[in-house]
Amino acid sequence: MAASLHHLTFFFPLLRPPSPKPGTELHGATSKPNPRAIMAFASGKDTQEVVLQPGERLYLGMDFGTSGARYALIDKQGTIHSEGKREYPFYMSGETIDWVQSWKTTIFSLLEDVPVHFRPLVASISIDGTSATTIIVDSNTGEPLWRPFLYNESCPDALPMVKSIAPVNHTVCSGSSTLCKLVSWWNTEDSKKESALLLHQADWLLWLLHGKLGVSDYNNALKVGYDPEVDSYPPWLLAQPYSHLLPSVTAPGTSIGCLKENIRTQFGFSEDCVVCTGTTDSIAAFLAARATQPGKAVTSLGSTLAIKLLSTRRIEDARFGVYSHRLDDKWLVGGASNTGGAVLRELFTDEQLDKLSEQINPMEASPLDYYPLTAAGERFPVADPNLAPRLHPRPESDVEYLHGILESIARIEAKAYSLLKDMGATEVEEVFTAGGGAKNDKWIKIRERVLGLPVSRAMQTEAAYGAALLALKGAQQSLN
C-alpha cells in the first residue's frame, strides 16, 4: 500500500511506540542471523524480545544535524531494532573545516555501525539534513565546486537581487535562504557555471548512495524557491540564468533507485535495497513526534531552535523568517532560530548542565533577559543578520545564569508561536519537544510556564526516526 507523506504521518500514531532510548545501540541476541527468525531486543523499563519473522524487512533513517549524525533502524510496525550516533570528524582545508569530507566519512561510518546481521534485511534508506545547507557540485562528477554554505550562513550580498525577482516577503527573501546562497555563488564564480548543479545536504548524501545526480525533495527545495502548492518551480525563478542548476524535485520519501552495487556489496545490504528522497531535520523530527492534528506543534531543541506547527493555513513572510512546508492538505508552519543548545555547549559541559539544571526551580521566573546566540545574526522570530548576542550581565551563580538562558530561549519560543498566531496560523494547543533539549525536564517545565501550554517530550525525539518513516514510505511505494 503506497502512502503519501500525510497518510504516513497519520498512520504511524497507531503503531506501538518505539522502545529504545536515544543513543542506545541494540543488537540481536546472537552475532549471526538465525535463518528462521532474527531476535532483537527493545530496551526500556521492561526489556522485551522482538522477533523478526522470515521475510520481514527493516527501514533505515539517517539524520545529519548540526553537530553530528544518527541512524535509526525500524520495522514496519515502527519498532526500533538498532540506533546509534556519530560526531562529525574534523578535516581541515586550509584554515576552514572541510565539512563535505566530514559528512562523507560519517555516512559510511553510520552504515558500518548498522549491525551486520540486520543489513541484509534493510529494504530502504532515507536521510534528513539541515535546512538550507547548500552544496554546488559538478553535474558530471558530483564533486563540490565550492565549500558548502551552511544552514545558518547569511549571504546579504545576494539579497537585493533575490528581492528584485521574488514576490514580496517570499521565503527566499532572507539572507540565509538557499536561493541567496546560490545567487551569491553565481555572482562570485566566473567559471564552471554551465556544469554546476545545486544540491542540499541531504540530496548530496543520498547521491553518494544511489548515484543519480540532481534529485531533491520539496521540503529541502522550499528555500530555493520551489512552490510545493503547485509542485513546480515558479516562472520568475525559471527565468533566471542560473535556473539550470536547480535539481528535480519529488515528494519526500520517494524511491529514487537501488543502493549502488559497490556500497551494497561492501556493507552487505540486499540487492533490492532502495534509496528514497529525504527531508529537512526539523520536519523529520516532526514526523517522528507524531503530532497529527492542527494546533499540535513540535519544537526541536538541538543546536538551534526549530518550530513546526500543523496548520490549516499556509503562512509565508520572510520579514520574520516564517515559511510553510506542505503536508498533504495541511501545512507545517514555522521557522528556525539561531538560539538553542549550541549556546549552552559554549558555556557549559554536559555534566554541568545536568547538575546545574537540578538546582533550578522552574516555577520561578528568572529576572535575567538574554538573547542567547553563538554569533551575531538571527533568522526567526526576527530576521536580523546583525542581531547581537546578549548574554550579560552574568550573575555569580551559574545556576542563576543557566536559569536565565533557558528562560530567555523559552521566551523566544513563546514569541515565535505568538507571531504565527498573529499571522493567521492555527493557534497552538500543545507542544511536543524533540532534540537534545527534550531530555532536560526542568527546561520543559520552564517552557510550559512561559508558553502557558502543555509541553511534553515527544514519544520519539530523534529526527533519524522520522527519516526511517520516510524510508518505509518509499519501500511501500516501490512495491506498487
What secondary structure does DSSP assign to 154-187, as a single string? --GGGHHHHHHHSPTT-TT-STTSHHHHHHHHHH
Residue 297 vs residues 102, 307, 361, 413: alpha-carbon distances, Å: 32, 7, 25, 12
Residue 211 has pLDDT above 60, yes or no: yes
Q: Which of 242-246, 280-284, 475-479 has the lowest mean pLDDT?
A: 475-479
Q: Mean pLDDT across the chain, nearest whole number?
A: 89
Residue with cell 497529527: 292
**Mean pLDDT of the region 148-177:** 95
Residue 411 has pLDDT above 60, yes or no: yes
Closest CA to 179 of 332, 323, 390: 323
Residue of 35 and 402 predicted with greater confidence? 402
Residue 297: predicted pLDDT: 96
Residue 237: predicted pLDDT: 98
Residue 283 contacts residue 267 (beta carbons within 8 Å): no
Residue 383: predicted pLDDT: 85
Q: Using DSSP, state whether 9 is helix, strand or coil.
A: helix
pLDDT class of 420 with cuts at 50, 70, 90: very high
Cα-Cα-Cα-Cα torsion 31, 32, 35, 38, nearest 10 degrees, comes to 20
Question: What span, in angstroms and rounded, lies between the C-alpha atoms of 53 and 38?
Answer: 7
Question: What span, in angstroms and rounded, lies between the C-alpha atoms of 290 and 432?
Answer: 9
pLDDT class of 44 with cuts at 50, 70, 90: very low
Question: What span, in angstroms and rounded, lies between the C-alpha atoms of 166 and 164?
Answer: 6
Q: C-alpha cell of 350?
A: 554536559
Residue 213: predicted pLDDT: 97
Residue 112: predicted pLDDT: 98
pLDDT digits (tens, 9 = 90+) for 423-468: 999 999 999 998 889 999 999 999 999 999 999 998 887 899 999 9
User: pLDDT exceeding 70 applies to what percent of the chain?
Assistant: 89
Question: What span, in angstroms and rounded, lies between the C-alpha atoms of 343 and 353?
Answer: 12
pLDDT digits (tens, 9 = 90+) for 312-334: 999 988 888 898 998 878 899 99
**Mean pLDDT of the region 385-402:** 96
Question: What span, in angstroms and rounded, lies between the C-alpha atoms of 323 and 233?
Answer: 16
Q: Which of 53-62, 96-105, 286-295, 439-448 has the lowest mean pLDDT?
A: 286-295
Residue 39 has pLDDT above 70, yes or no: no
Residue 261 contacts residue 456 (beta carbons within 8 Å): no
